[in-house]
Structure 1
Amino acid sequence: MPQPLDALAVRTWCSLALDALGREREEIDAINVYPVADGDTGTNLYLTVESAATAVEAVFAAYETGSAAPALADAVRAMAHGALIGARGNSGTILAQLLRGMAEVLGQRDGGAAEALLRAAESAREAVAHPVEGTILSVASAAARAADGTAPGDDAAAVAAAYAGARRALEETPGQLEVLGRAGVVDAGGQGLVAVLGALAEAVTGEASVRPAVRHHPAVTTAAEPCADGGPAFEVIYLLEAGDSAVARLRSRLDALGDSLVVVGGDGLWNVHVHVDDAGAAVEAGVEAGRPYRIRITHFAAAEHPEARERVQRAVVAVVPGEGLAGLCTEAGATTVLARPGEPPASGELVDAIRRAHAREVVLLPNDADLRHTAAAAAEQARTEGVRVALIPTRSAVQGIAALAVHEPERRFDEDVVAMTSAAGATRYGELAVAERQSFTSAGVCQAGDVLGLIEGDVAVIGADLATTAETVLDRMLSAGGELVTLVLPEDAPPELGDRLEAHVRAGYLAVDTVIYHGGAGAPLLVGVE
């Protein structure tokens, strides 16, 4: 059923777009051959949308204590601003300008989706110094033209038509751009935009979008030689506080220094992206124009050949749900990222933690099933900076503890990763939660205040008492066997809870040991069975 294009639809759009890009990120990276074959377009688009989604969530959080809901204008402007400050790479920067163009229209009282898509395509072309057909710009223009042919005011029809038009345009890109035709792929940025528009169509029409296949030629890999064609050696990106006239001069200067120039933004804040041989000159130009910050410089050759970097020590980066576990993991030698209840870390925080580890090789433990896409994007970003990263898909802190327990930095990297992955995989996980409202679960209907016992992410037990429900969860998990039970309790847990559960295991399972950790957060209890 069609939904109104309101603030809630924007929130849903962000969530669906992030999921779509998370699924397609690696495939989009693999077909990235233009403008530079550096294999990061999917990752850059994911990071850009992640920043946009975070900004939208912040708007909704500000309204949680009151009865009013955010206005559409507030949500779309937050989405555009979040994309602007978090934009990565050529395609991510263009996507940020597309969202800004949409926000200019949807922020008005009578603005509709078709008009917004037209303004988005126009503003993106204005932001690119030398627009090229067969790219994300072509896909955006085709989507806008398709939407413009629908009945005025019918947002659902407009976004559905835009998505269909974008898909058709994407298939035409290999015939528009020679490098794509030679490689046998569609444009990577265009593929990412199709995913974003598909999410918009699903959010507004209520109908799941049909995921188009990513055209991937066997000869195209992320190990392509980015500088083989004599192109610029560096990608320079920074945020810039400057006036319009200063930015106009900056565009001219950067255009003379390099290529792939995209300057997006307005109202005093800009995101600058350019490929140059002289990275210092590009930054100096920004200093002359205003105040550049969040400066990121990537050497294309170094990003593709991390083995050329000097090897240093190995490290483990772990996401942990509480201060107590953070201390435990730090003592074990890990660099930690704290995940507070309701505030999962963004991929930028994980990248920062990887950098803080100062390691040539990093094992990343997300310790949460919902962080898999975020962690994958962070790992990919760190790889472009020359760090060898192995992502172990741990879905709970107890799996991360098991992996960290067998970590041996003296082993070969691959052997260490295999051992840690095996330990995590051999650990079944469970947790307790308190139901916030009546709902249907895999174990039946629960009421607000019920204690839920989850095993491997699914509700297996509904109870009224924390300790009794925990014992039932333990019995079910141990029915398949086990040698070690790990219990993680929050700091404010009843002091007798740990003793009671340990006694329960000891009485019923003589060969099973129990270890208890304090300092978790969010869940009343985490359970691991190895």
Structure 2
Amino acid sequence: MQKISIDGAKFYYMLMNASNKLEQEKEYVNSLNVFPVPDGDTGTNMSLTFKAAAQEISGMRNESISEIAKKFSRGALMGARGNSGVILSQIFRGFSKGLENLHYASSGDIANAIMEGANYAYKAVMRPTEGTILTVIREAGEFAIKCEEEEIDTLLEKVCNYAEEILNKTPDMLPALKEAKVVDAGGMGMLILLKGMLDVVKYDIVDELKDVVAREHKFEAQVTEGEQQFGYCTEFIILTDNYDLDTLKTQLSEIGDSIVAVGMDDFVKIHVHTLEPGKALNLGTSLGQLTKIKIENMSEQHKHTLDMEENKSSDVALDENIETKKYGFIAVARGEGLTNIFKDLNVDRVIEGGQTMNPSTQDLIDRIDEINAETIFILPNNKNIMMAAEQAVHLSEKNIIVVPSKTIPEGIAALSIFDENGSGEENLESMIETIENVSTGSVTYAVKDTESDGREIKADDILGIVNGKIEIIGNDNLKVCCDIIDEMVDDFSELITIYYGEDCNKEDVDKMVEELEDKYPDMDIESYEGKQPLYYFIVSVE
């Protein structure tokens, strides 16, 4: 039987099966990480991103290809985690563009969608690197356009075979891949997804998303007298490309305040505080379908806030009735001690995350919505969170500034020089200058056997990393920590700061600090209990 077109149901099952396949293979994709450290999370980030998108289309098998692709793209955009997840979300944003206004798709339409996916992905990356997922999807798209196969299963099979050939060549494009004897992890993830889509067309697989956690929609029936002081925090997304933001804001202002309305291609994200959430929802349904509905009783939030204040905790729900402050801060960190350090530096919200645990774009937007400030700074403190933070900027109406902090010490140093009296731009400039003067080191363990710069590394070896490069290989975390400090200190160094992890003994750390003080009598040496997992030590030299 010829398969020269697919309908919405077939496309739906293609996406569902692809998601399940990547979930099954994510640990294998993780294992392809070049660095042998416990933060190889490309497979996890891609799978979580794709699964978030698949959850968005759950039950939409009877819709058109165009509608499914649109909603899938939105789900990927909001659920994107890590740089690989953000790139993946852009690939499927391009897919959606290529399948626009289609009820059925031919092989030519699918080829065009793959090519559009590559185009969008390249636009999203400031300095594209060949030998990565970008190369795999671009080559796949160019091949698909030239292929001119009429049957979709034949097209996809040839595209998958060609993409695999390109993937196997990635070590020749990136020396780090060749040395580690692996292919690109993101490219492998993309190939798994393409093969998952192919299998549905080829074998008529009918598969739903596995292990889906049902989305919770919180509704309150009425506004009682005791609730009128605060009302309801109402959030939802309107699926429409026919809207006028100014008119929408004016209409919302008639029923509430604290209004945020953000438009993005074919949807609008709404946030409003109102005594009548039903009216806000009716306004939304007059423009299009609603999704991501969340209605919360702010009286309960306020009570929670008061309870938490009694416990001297800053993790409280937002009371928008407080005066808008000039600056707000969001930081990403993992470990109780590091979290407390950021809170002591006046950070409003600390998102638990970092290595192996990258927050999604939606996580960042949720925290942005909780802060009542004119300008909000985001400190990712991890290079793999930077793209999700930048994506959140485009999805928020608030004035957001992303500080390019790629490590915890960079984020702490940047906050320590913040000037409340300066402008946002002036502070960003000062923070960047400060970051450039911070050298970061870390001590962790190897998760696999590999090679680095011609040196053999065995699983469980202790690794000393300085500014992203493995400098020391040893078997004692304290000695490796001292060794990387020796590497980092120069004639201009003034301050050594050590953050020790949850697996470190305080007495041993104190003894090490004493030895360092004897070795570097002219330098200030500070140590803090970071309680971070995976990394015995995070060190900065300034």
**TM-score normalised to structure 2 length:** 0.51
SS at match of 2:373: coil
The residue identity in structure 1 corresponding to 2:364 is: L
1:320 shift after superposition: 1.1
Aligned to 2:419: 408
2:382 alignment partner, one of 368, 378, 394: 368
Contact preservation (8 Å) 2:69, 2:95: no
Contact 1:235-1:273 within 8 A present in 2 as well: no
Q: Which amino acid aligns with 1:333?
A: N
Given the alignment, which residue of 332, 347, 351 partners 1:337?
Answer: 351
Q: Deviation digits for residues 315-334 of structure 1, max 9, x if unmatched?
A: 22111121211112112210
Query: In the superposition, relative to structure 1, how do residues 280 and 203 fare at CA in structure 2: closer, same or farther (>3 Å)?
Result: closer
Distance 1:311 1:395 in 2: 29
1:420, CA displacement in angstroms? Answer: 1.7
Contact 2:97 2:113 in 1 (8 A): no
Structure 2 match to 1:482? 493
Q: What letter is aligned with 1:232?
A: Y
1:377 match: 391
Aligned pairs for 1:39-438 (under 5 A) are 56-57=47-48, 78=51, 80-82=53-55, 84=57, 94-97=69-72, 125-126=102-103, 148-149=149-150, 153=154, 155-158=156-159, 200=190, 232-234=243-245, 281-285=282-286, 293-294=293-294, 312-334=325-347, 335-339=349-353, 342-382=356-396, 385=397, 387-438=398-449
Give, in whole Å, the separation in 1 of the partners of 2:247 and 2:160: 34
Distance 1:260 1:503 in 2: 55
**Match of 1:293, as an amino acid?**
I
How far has the Cα of 1:357 moved from its partner? 2.2
- CA deviations 1:377-420 (Å, max 9, x no partner) are 122323xx1x2222121111011111111112122222222222
Query: Which stretch has the larger CA shift, 152-161 or 469-478?
Result: 152-161
Equivalent-residue separation in structure 2 for 1:495 and 1:124 (angstroms): 62
Equivalent pairs, count: 342
Q: Does the aligned pair in 2 maintain the 1:97–1:124 contact within 8 Å?
A: no
Query: Is contact 1:97-1:123 (8 Å) kept?
Result: no
Q: RMSD between aligned alpha carbons?
A: 5.2
Contact 2:417/2:431, CA 8 A, preserved across alignment? yes
Compared CA separation, residues 430 and 122, structure 1 to 2 (3 A): closer
How many angstroms apart in 2 are the aligned matches of 1:236 and 1:54? 38
- 1:372 Cα deviation from its structure 2 partner: 1.6
The one-character-per-residue Cα deviations of 1:190-216 (angstroms, maximum 9, x if unpaired) are xxxxxx9999479869xxxxxxxxxxx
Pick closer, same or farther for the CA change 1:443–1:326 going to 2, 3 Å: farther
Determine if the alignment matches structure 1 residue 524 to structure 2 residue 536: yes
Distance 1:150 1:161 in 2: 17
Give the Cα–Cα distance (whole angstroms) in 2 for the partners of residues 340 and 260 of structure 1: 28
Paired residues of 2:149 and 2:155 also in contact (CA < 8 A): no
SS in 1 for 2:460: coil
State the shift of 1:500 in Å.
2.9
Which runs of 5 or more structure 2 residues have no equivalent in the other structure?
1-17, 31-40, 59-65, 76-93, 106-111, 118-140, 164-185, 196-241, 249-262, 271-278, 296-322
Over 3 Å counting, the alpha-carbon distance change for 1:361 and 1:292 in structure 2 is closer
TM-score norm. by structure 1 comes to 0.52
